[in-house]
Structure formats: structure tokens, C-alpha cells
Structure 1
Amino acid sequence: MLIAGKTALVTGGTDGIGRRIAQELRRRGAHVIVTGRNPDRLDRARSEGFEAIAADLSDRDGVEGLLRALTGRPIDVLVNNAGMGAAHDFRQGIPDPADDERTIRLNLDAPIRLIVGLMEALRSRPQAMIVNVTSGLALAPSAGAPVYCATKAALRSYTQSLRAQLKGTTIHVLEALPPVVDTAMTAGRRGRKLSVERCAVAIVDAMAANADEANVGLVKVLKAVCLVAPWLARRIMIGF
């Protein structure tokens, strides 16, 4: 895809991976609309020259409000990046069902609803793209975050089916699978983390190349292990 001149919507684009994706897309000549919930981060995005729309995508009203705000707008690229993880580990206590519901809505329900709601706008463009950001944990789950892993695996499955449906159309479908990235969501996690800058550049490079998947950083290794010995990948990742 030629990124210059395109209008891109990046959900969760005021912080973390989404913010860096937005910056990289703009650097390559795109007009970028970002969404977020935090007023200070939204103001920061506007001060940096981004169009920023307040939207809580873990709530269906927030998704519908965003779609209304975009009515009639030319959207060439939809980047479903917004996501969250919630504690769901019975070894540490009883999980909060409300947190689980927000995770499912934000990580899975919102991307699907945005794709449905923006499909006609995307179809009207001469070249369009849907980018769904999943995770290396969509390939093999960890024991400590089953709801998060389930939503990302479900979004991966949806993405593969969507790609098959849209084959031969002007809409390309890309799945981005980051590893552990140095963001606020992983602040308490030890070990090796990829920088948000490197992650974002890898994803936007994959967009420019019309790739089907962006296996970022160590996810390349995990993907290779999954192809050769899926059982080994599951054994490695379950305790992650």
C-alpha cells in the first residue's frame, strides 16, 4: 500500500503502540485520526497535530459514537489497535467479571463492530486496508491471561476468515502480532521487551508491503516453532 495521502484511523492511538503507529503513518504522509479515552492524552495528540476523537471502545455506545463521528468521512485504513488485559487467574483470587467483559468488548467486539460499520467506506476507496493487532499469544496462550489470550486468538481467527472473504477486492487485511512490548500494560512484567518504536515501524513496514501478517520480533521465532512443533510452542508459552 502507498501510505502517503491515505486517511487512517488508529484506535488506541494516543498511547503505546498505537501512538507510535500513528506517528509513523503520519511520517510517511498519511492523515491520521486517533481515538483514546484519557483527556490529557487526547489533548497531547491534538497538540501534536493529530485529529483525536474521544471514544471508550470497551462500551458499545462508544463504538457507535465513533462511527457516527466518522459518517461520510473517507477512511482508507482502519487499524484496530486498542486493547487491554485484565487479571483472570484463579491462583490469585476470583476474577472480576466486569473486567473480563470490558476486555472481550474492547479486544474483540469493538474491532468487529468497527469493521462492519466502516466496511462501506473502505469499499468505496481505490485502495484500503484493515489492520487487526492481535498478539503472539494468539498463537499459543499463557496460563496467567486466559481471557486476553482468548480474545486475541478469536480476533486472529476472524482476521483470517475476513481476509478470505475480501480476497480480490480493494481491501487488504493484515494481522499484526507483537511480542511483549514496553508499554504501560507491561510495566510490571520483567524480561525482554521490544520498544514501541521498533514494533510500530515493523507493523507499518508490513502495511506498506501488503503483507498478510506482521510477526514482530520474537513472534517470528514463536511462529516458526508453531509450524514445526505446535505442542512445543504451547508448552513454552503456557507458563509465560
Structure 2
Amino acid sequence: MEIRGKAALVTGGTDGIGIEIARHLKAGGASVIVAGRDPVRLEAARSEGFEAIAADLSDIAGCDALVAALEGRPLDILVNNAGMGADYDVNAPIDLGEVDRCIFLNLNAPIRLITGLLATLRARPEAMIVNVTSGLAIAPRAASPVYCATKAGLRSFTMALRAQLAGTGINVMEALPPVVETRMTAGNMHKKMPAPECGRQIVAAIAAGRNQANIGLTGVLNAVYNVSPPLARRIMLRF
């Protein structure tokens, strides 16, 4: 896909992987809108030259408001990047409200945004939907069952959506990052990929028109899974 001249929306686009995707798209000549919740980070994005829209995508109203804000505007690239984790340990207190917000933001929100913006994307000569999942969509980690479930669900949805849109002008790409240095992974002691490099690789995959981008060590995990799914699961459950 030729990025120059395209109009892009990046959700969760004011921080972490999202802002790096936005920066690389902008550097490639795209006009980029970022959506996020934090007023300070939204203003910081505006200072970099991005159009920034305040949007809480953890509920229906926030998703509908973002779709409405884009009505009548061209959109070539939709990057569903917004996400969060939720603690879930049966041996400790569980906040089901936080669990519900995680499920909605990570899985429901991308589905709602795609549905609401699909007609706009269909109207473009070429378009792309990018769903950012995780290496944990391939094999789960015992410490993050809800997060893993949402990313596995989004992975399945992405595959099925790609099949439905085959032969149209819309390509559907899944980006699977490894552990990346972001605020969300601050407590994770494993080796992390720098967010700028993750963003660079995702945008490179968009430009190449790929269907799947296994970023960093996710490529190794995917290779192990293709040879032995049980082995990949055993490794990741202990990760």
C-alpha cells in the first residue's frame, strides 16, 4: 500500500505502540488522526501535528461518538490499537468491572469501529484495516488469561473478516507484537522491544500490504506453534 496521501486513524494513538505507529505513518506522508483518553497526551499529540480526538473506547457510547466524529471524512487506514490488561487470578480478588472494560476495549471496540467505518473504507480505491493483537493471541500466558482471550478472539475475528473482504479493495492485516516497552508492561521483567521499533515494523508491513506481521520474537513463537502447538502453549503458559 502507498502510505503517502492516505488518511489514517490510530486508536490508542497517543501513547506506547500507538503513537509510534502514528509517527511512522505521518513520516510516510499520511494524514493521521489519533484517538485517546488522556487530555495531556492528546495535547502532546496535537503539538506534534496530529489531529487528536478524545475517545473512551471502553464502552458503546465512546465507540459510537468516534464513528460519528469521522462521518463524511475519507479514511484509508484504520488501526485498531487501543487495548488494556486486566488482572485475573482466581487466588486473589477479581474486579469484574475491570475485566468487562478489558474485554470491551480489546475486542468489542475494534468490531464496532470496523462495522461503523466499513462503508467509508469501501469507498476508497484501496484501504486497510490493521488489528493489533499480540503474540499471546497465538498461545496464552497463565498470568493474563483475560487479556490473552481478548487477543485470541480478535485474531480469529481478523482471519474471518479477511476472508469476507477477499477480492475487495480492503486488506485486513493482523499485527502481533511481542512484549513492548510501554506503560502497560511496566511491571513485566522480560526483555522488551522498544516501542519505536515496533511501530516501525508495523508500518513497514502496512506499506508492504501484508496480511500478518509477526513483530520481533513473535515470529519465533509463530514458527514454534506451526511445528508443535502443545510446545508453544507450554512455553507461553510459563512465560
**TM-score above 0.5, yes or no:** yes
Determine the structure 2 residue equivalent to 1:238: 237
Cα distance in structure 2, aligned partners of 1:218 and 1:95? 31
* Runs of 4+ residues deviating >2 angstroms: none
SS of residue matched to 1:10: strand
SS in 1 for 2:230: helix
Q: Distance in 1 between matches of 2:154 and 2:189?
A: 26
8 Å CA contact 2:179–2:190 kept in 1: the answer is no
Q: Counterpart in 1 of 2:65?
A: 65
Find the counterpart in structure 2 of residue 90 from structure 1. Answer: 90
Please name the residue that 1:30 is paired with.
Answer: 30
Q: CA separation in 2, counterparts of 1:203 and 1:21?
A: 7
Q: Distance in 2 between matches of 1:89 and 1:204?
A: 35
Contact map agreement 2:172 2:211 (CA 8 A) in 1: yes
Partner SS, residue 88 of structure 2? coil
Would you say 1:131 and 2:130 are equivalent positions?
A: yes
Report the Cα offset of residue 95 of structure 1: 1.2
Q: Aligned AA for 2:187?
A: G
| SS class of match (2:203) | helix
* Runs of 5+ consecutive residues of structure 2 not aligned to the other structure: none
CA distance in 2, matches of 1:46, 1:210: 28
The CA distance in 2 between the partners of 1:234 and 1:79, in whole Å, is 28
Question: Residue 52 of structure 2: SS of its match in structure 1?
Answer: strand
Query: For the residues of structure 2 that align with 1:17 and 1:160, how far apart are their CA atoms?
Result: 22
Q: Which amino acid aligns with 2:146?
A: V
Which residue identity does 2:60 align to in structure 1? Answer: R
Alpha-carbon distance between aligned partners in 2 of 1:195 and 1:46, rounded to the nearest angstrom: 23
Structure 2 match to 1:151: 150
The count of aligned residue pairs is 239
Displacement of 1:134? 0.2
Q: Is the CA contact (8 Å cut-off) linking 2:182 and 2:195 kept in structure 1? A: yes
Classify the secondary structure of the residue corresponding to 1:52.
Answer: strand
CA displacement 1:105-130 (0-9 Å, x = unmatched): 10000000000000000000001000
Q: CA deviation at 1:94?
A: 2.3
With normalisation by structure 1, the TM-score equals 0.99
Match of 1:215 in 2: 214
Aligned residue number for residue 2 of structure 2: 2
Aligned residue for 1:167, secondary structure, equals coil
Q: In the alignment, what sits opposite 1:169?
A: 168
CA distance in 2, matches of 1:47, 1:179: 29
Which amino acid in structure 1 is aligned with residue 162 of structure 2?
R
Q: Give, as a single letter, the amino acid of the residue that structure 1 aligns with 2:127.
A: A
Deviation at 1:175, TM superposition (A): 0.1
Q: TM-score, normalised by structure 2?
A: 0.99
- Structure 2 residue identity aligned to 1:77: I
3-state SS of paired residue (1:99) = helix
In structure 2, what residue type is equivalent to 1:238? L
Look up the SS of the partner of 1:35 in the other structure. strand
* C-alpha deviation, 1:239, in angstroms: 1.5
CA positional deviation for 1:89: 1.2
Give secondary structure in 1 for the equivalent of 2:124.
Answer: coil
1:20 — aligned with what? 20
> Structure 1: any 5+ residue segments left out of the alignment?
none
